[in-house]
Amino acid sequence: MRKCLAILFLILPLSLAAQELNCTVTINSDKIEGSNKSVFNTLQQAVTEYVNTIRWTGMTFAENERIECSMMIIINSVADNVYNAELQVQARRPVFGTTYTTPLLNIKDNNFNFQYQEFDRLEYQENIFYTNLTAMLAYYCYLIIGEDMDSFSRLGGTPFFTQCENIINACQTATMSDAEMEGWSAIARGTSNRNRYAIANNLLDESYRKYREFYYEYHRLSLDEMTQNVANSRARIAEGITALREARRARPNGHLVSTFLDAKSDELVNIFKKGTADEKKKVYEILVEIDPTRSSLYDEINNSD
């Protein structure tokens, strides 16, 4: 399995690597008036080629191993080639022995602001800042890869989260408008403090190690083992989910628990609807404590037979 080779990515020749992502890119320009929207079609094609043709790692991926993901860029306004936009990123990976794919990431960036002129070439070179658009896309490509690797090997995403941090550092010293700088700063000035800086910072924070170990155990040692023994896999998740509560209590303003539940809340409900009475009670109490805004969803755990 390709994931077992994660630690080798630094030494594999780049010429052996296939592309890592199979990303569907959509540009939503419904908020923009006018019938001539060719620039949005051009932008969609450019972003699609950028994320799906650049080799982000030195790892070898077979075609059927590419990470399934999507990016939707929602354009709020455009003026003089300056785009005010939002980005919705989703990623998923197959569960061993099934046709089911489990969500890894479901995140929205409310400050996806950039400059773009039709037919601009989107370029990427490690540790070099070209434009805010290419930097933001590269950040999310590495975030997707890192989350995928963390799900297959313990702390396997660290090199890719480090790349996210490197991009942040480059952007913090680049010349950008205030709008473009939103998301890269340690001090949140925009509509959300769950920005690119905060997420990467949390992922590399040693205090979140138990959370990331649970993330691995949830996927590789539980979901991937469900075809062998559903009860044991569910019990392992119920036991490990205390890591989410510990992370929330230790860092009330942290972001990883919320990011995890944005992707996993429905899945957790479906898993524990069929749990034992003790599992339902324990998991329900933890989820309502750490994610009270979705308490009505979690009620389904206790309301099922």
Q: pTM for the whole thing?
A: 0.91
pLDDT at 134: 97
Residue 192: its pLDDT value, please? 54
Q: How far apart are CA 94 and CA 97, in angstroms?
A: 9
Same structural domain, 212 and 200? no
Identity of the amino acid at 241? I
Cβ count within 10 A of residue 95: 17
- Same domain? For 184 and 223 the reply is no
User: In angstroms, what CA-CA distances link 217 with 3, 83, 289?
Assistant: 14, 40, 22
Q: How many domains does the chain have?
A: 2
- For residue 140, pLDDT over 70 is answered with yes
119 and 189 co-located in one domain? yes
Residue 6: band (very low, low, confident or very high) from pLDDT cuts 50, 70, 90: very low
Return phi, psi of residue 13, to 5°: -65, 135
Average pLDDT across the chain, whole number: 91
Containing structural domain, residue 251: 208-303
- The pLDDT value recorded for residue 186 is 80
Same-domain status, 42 and 147: yes
Give the pLDDT of residue 304: 75
pLDDT value at 158 more than 80? yes
End-of-domain residue from the set 177, 204, 231? 204
User: Would you say 140 and 87 are in contact if contact means Cβ atoms under 8 Å apart?
Assistant: yes
As a whole number of Å, the end-to-end CA separation of the chain is 38
Band of pLDDT at residue 303, cut at 50, 70 and 90: confident
Residue 209's closest CA among 166, 162, 243?
243
Q: What letters, b where the CB count within 10 A reaches 16 and e where it falls short, cover 38-56? A: ebbebbbebbbebbbebeb
Query: At 271, is the pLDDT very low, low, confident or very high (cuts 50, 70, 90)?
Result: very high
Give how far Cα 39 sits from Cα of 32, 45, 46, 80, Å: 12, 10, 10, 13
H-assigned helices in the chain: 38-53, 132-152, 158-172, 178-181, 196-203, 209-219, 230-240, 242-250, 256-272, 277-290, 295-303
Percent of the chain's residues with pLDDT above 90: 79
Q: What confidence tens digit (pLDDT) does each residue in 59-72 have? A: 988 988 999 999 99
Per-residue pLDDT at 193:
58
Ramachandran assignment for 155, one of left (phi > 0), alpha (psi -120 to 50 degrees), beta (any other): left
One domain, residues 31 and 164: yes
- Judge whether residue 81 has pLDDT over 80: yes
Quick one: 177 and 226 in the same domain? no
Kindly report, residue by residue over 100-115, the tens digit of the pLDDT.
999 999 999 999 999 9
Task: Please tell me whether residues 90 and 179 are part of one structural domain.
Answer: yes
- Indicate the helix (H) or strand (E) that contains 104: strand 101-109
Give just the sign of the alpha carbon dihedral 226, 229, 235, 236. negative
- Mark whether 62 and 134 lie in a shared domain: yes
Verify that 126 and 218 share a domain, yes or no. Answer: no
- 274 with 295, same domain: the answer is yes
Does 160 have pLDDT greater than 80? Answer: yes
pLDDT of residue 188: 57
pLDDT range class, residue 136, cuts 50, 70, 90: very high
What's the pLDDT score for residue 170?
93
Q: Which of 139, 172, 204 is the last residue in one of the domains?
A: 204
Across residues 236-265, what is the average pLDDT?
95
Boundary-marking domain end, from 171, 204, 237: 204
Cα–Cα dist 103/120, whole Å: 33
| Whether residue 149 is found in the same domain as residue 24 | yes
Split at pLDDT 50, 70, 90, the class of 41 is very high
In this prediction, residues 263-267 reach a mean pLDDT of: 98
Q: For residues 175 and 221, state if they share a domain.
A: no
